[in-house]
Amino acid sequence: VVVGAGVIGLTAALELRAHGHAVHVVARDMPHDAASTQFASPWAGANCVSYAADDDLLQQRWERTTWKRLAGISRRHPDLVQKIPFELYSAYLAANQPWWKDSECGAGTSLMQPDTALIVNASALGSRWLADVLDEKVVPARGQTVLVRAPDVRLMEEAAKSQPTYIIPRAGSGQVILGGTFEAGWANEAVINEATTDRILADCTRLCPALAECEVISVNVGLRPVRLGGTRLEPDRLANGVDVVHCYGAGPAGYQQSWG
């Protein structure tokens, strides 16, 4: 059983399925829940820019592994790939519904709650409240993005500001994710802030004036699962003898570390 249906949980489900296991995914928030704001995977820009420090060899290994797997997916599914001029390598979502829900996890993977001998805990923010976890190091980091229609816009990013500014095309769709915010702490509610929307549009238009006439498709809010002290990836055993593998707390790095 995999607890959690964000990119970490569904990637774990896919990998377990590839090794011959019957997999069941249990989650409150699913990728098709268009109104959910309690997880971040469906709303992420999903560009691969390392968060690993120079001496953090473990996170570097996770990101190298993930990059190789994403590169393999792009070779097998070239219709999902679009080359975009930029000075950094990046990977992008290319569909309204994520590939990691239907295209990959769908075959032989059910969404239900059976008895089990092994649990993968990828519950993200839920790990703070799960009875056998209660990890108080888990905190949300609110993210807000704006999805627009702007087919001729290229990838841009400005990292020097206190809040990130990025323009990330979604390959093959003519849509672009504009961002963003990183607001850590429980005081930040998962609701749309109109002033933040205006700030994102203004900052991105300053970087790319062509966005001045873009069509706004949606404004999105999600909570990134940050864990103070870093991602938790370790085995555990519950009092009833069920084995658990914890993998949560990647914060903004879920996509680029998911295969690692």
Instruction: Tell me if residue 211 falls in helix, strand or coil.
Output: helix
pLDDT of residue 90: 46
Mean pLDDT of 189-215: 90
pLDDT of residue 104: 47
Choose among 110, 111, 93, 102: nearest CA to 40.
Answer: 93
Token output for 191: 């609701």
What does the pLDDT look like over 93-151, one tens digit per residue?
Answer: 444 444 444 444 554 555 444 567 788 999 999 999 988 899 999 999 999 999 999 88
pLDDT of residue 147: 93
CB atoms within 10 A of CB 140: 25
Instruction: Tell me if residue 81 falls in helix, strand or coil.
Output: coil
CATH code, 154: 3.50.50.60
Average pLDDT, the chain: 80
pLDDT of residue 136: 95
What does the pLDDT look like over 161-200, one tens digit per residue?
Answer: 667 888 888 877 888 999 888 888 887 777 889 999 999 9
Instruction: Tell me if residue 233 falls in helix, strand or coil.
Output: strand
Domain that holds residue 242: 2-257
% of the chain surpassing 90 pLDDT? 23
Query: How many distinct structural domains can be found in the chain?
Result: 1
Q: What is the DSSP string of 122-191?
A: --GGGGGT-TTT--TTEEEEEEEEEEEE-TTPPPEEE-SSSS-EEEEEETTTTEEEEE---EESTTS-SS
Let me know how long the chain is: 260
Q: Which residue has the higher pLDDT, 38 or 256?
A: 256
